[in-house]
Chains A and B, each alone.
Chain A
Amino acid sequence: MSLVNLDFAEELKEYSGDTALECFNCGTCAAICPLVNDNFPRRMIRYIQVGAREKILENSDELWRCLHCGLCTHTCPREADPGEIILGLKRFVLANWRKS
């Protein structure tokens, strides 16, 4: 079971912009991503929206499969900038690793 952290989006602002809440989960990013892998990056963005901080830390290795190619950002209809969100999550996870 994982707990929901309602302040997670706020905590993330230190590492990236706050565009995750713009996302309406259409899945364009997951469809166009060259990884074509288990709803990436949509699932990660959903975790931010619902405050599933621990889920992100549990699945953090997945973030480094991202090629930072920018296709998701280029095609996002909400301009939520999924590529930058993933980069921000990498920063957040790395900072947590280094603190631990």
Chain B
Amino acid sequence: MFNPRDIIEILAANVRQTKSPFGIPKFMVNTWYKDHSLPKEGEYLLFTGLMYQFSPFIETSTQYLEKYEDTKTADYLKYAKWVPGYISGMGLAMMTKGKEKRKAGQPLKNIAYLLQKSKVNFGYRPDLDNYSGILLYDMGDQKGFVAHAKKVAQKLKNAGIKKIITTDPHTAYALKELFPKYTGISFDVKPYFELLNFEPKDCGLEVTLHDPCFFGRYLKASDITRKQLSNMGISVTNIRNQGEFTSCCGGPAESISPSLSNEIMDKRATELEEPGKPIIAYCPICLGNLKKSGAAVEDLSTLLARHA
């Protein structure tokens, strides 16, 4: 296990300096929309919170953390907070494979396609799409989270945004529950899958759904995904820990203790693999972590886009 204080101070300094927990400049992280001609205006604003885009960088940093956990080298981590965020971020960006960076944007392209196919009136503004600060909140850096969240919320408010579509559970929770409480600014927040509207189909498939904690338990949104899948003739296997009682993928522990994260991840992957059906996740953290375990898992948006 790493010293939590070292990790928190690095993340907090990065968010303060670069608005990103990893210090990577936004123009290097958020590129998925560039080969799409998405409208800028609409009834809803598509807001990714950059979480899918961060996943390859999380994977790279976790690989290094895994190497040094519980070694003497881990003690030097406390000096990392003195390295300017952009410099460590650029380093992390260069150590991450281009192929992985391109792949990370695919779920977002799928989501944009699904929303367009469902005739949802939405726009995308890269300048307004920022990290929500949720990791600082989860780590207990309340001051850091509130300061960052206020800037993000104010920017959205100034742009006249009232309705937001989110793509991942962590950003959805931050915008729906935490922003009103800690910034005083509220939006009408909906996860993308709530707005999808397709003709019923019969795909004749069966999948095992891994509900992320924040969609399954905190936001109680797991019935919505099941209804969408059922509408396409895709049934969901029954496993012991699902819906409101879903089990964590281990992802939240990966910066503090990669070994603990792997332990939790393996337990969950075994449970998900038991029915022998394709595994579907709908959170970039869960997706990355379950893939790491070797499980055959894909994102909900990929499955839906293939059959819509």
Contacts and interface: CB of A to CB of B under 8 A. Distances in A.
A94 B7 CA distance: 12
Interface residues of B, number: 26
B245 to A, nearest CB: 7
B253 A67 contact: yes
B141 interface: yes
Q: Name the interface size band of chain A.
A: 20 to 34
A68 interface: yes
Contact of B217 (A71, A90, A93, A94): A71
Nearest to B145: A91
B145 to A, nearest CB: 10
A34 B264 contact: yes
A64 B4 contact: yes
Contact of B267 (A34, A64, A89): A34
Interface in A5-45: 15, 34-35
B67 to A, nearest CB: 20
A74 B264 CA distance: 19
Contacts of B3: 61
Interface in A53-82: 60-61, 63-65, 67-71, 74
B142 A91 contact: yes
B236 interface: no
Contacts of A90: 139-140
A81 to B, nearest CB: 12
A57 to B, nearest CB: 12
B248 A94 contact: no
Nearest to A15: B142
Interface in B202-233: 213, 217-218
A65 B253 contact: yes
A97 B248 CA distance: 29
A69 B248 contact: yes
**Most chain B beta-carbon contacts within 10 A, residue among A35, A67, A69:** A69
Interface of B: 1, 3-5, 7-8, 138-142, 213, 217-218, 244-245, 247-248, 250, 252-253, 256-257, 260, 264, 267
7 contacts: A34-B248, A63-B4, A64-B1, A64-B4, A65-B256, A71-B213, A74-B245
